[in-house]
Structure 1
Amino acid sequence: CCYLSDLAVHRDYQSRKVGATLIEHVEKELGAEVSLILLASDTAMDYYPKIDFNKAENAYIKKRKY
């Protein structure tokens, strides 16, 4: 698996498929046998399903204390 950390697209460029294109490039480099995992911000929760991510129901997180 591969963890994708901190994908952010400036507001002026959102809705232009910049994020989706970046993720496509990552997936191409990884190959079909590697799963892509990420943590989404609250504002991005509706975005990722639109580009074929499935919400994980079997994950846990232990947040930082600072």
Structure 2
Amino acid sequence: MKRLYFLTVIPFVGMLGFLPFANRVEPFVFSMPFVMFWVVLWTVLSSVTLAIMYKLDPRTKEDGEK
């Protein structure tokens, strides 16, 4: 269960940890500088990661007990 929460580290490391390596203007991806594309990509991937965590978390399952 606690291992599931380590998925939150992936977007953090991807966006901030590798940003110095992605800090360049060229090449343009979808008419955006690469660094802007990098941030947008990791914003979307963060949402995907959180959706996966929600689906895998046993506390979100409705079993009728409270």
TM-score (norm 1): 0.29
Q: Which has the higher helix share?
A: 2
Ranked by relative contact order (alpha carbons within 8 Å, sequence separation 6 or more), the top structure is 1
TM-score (norm 2): 0.29
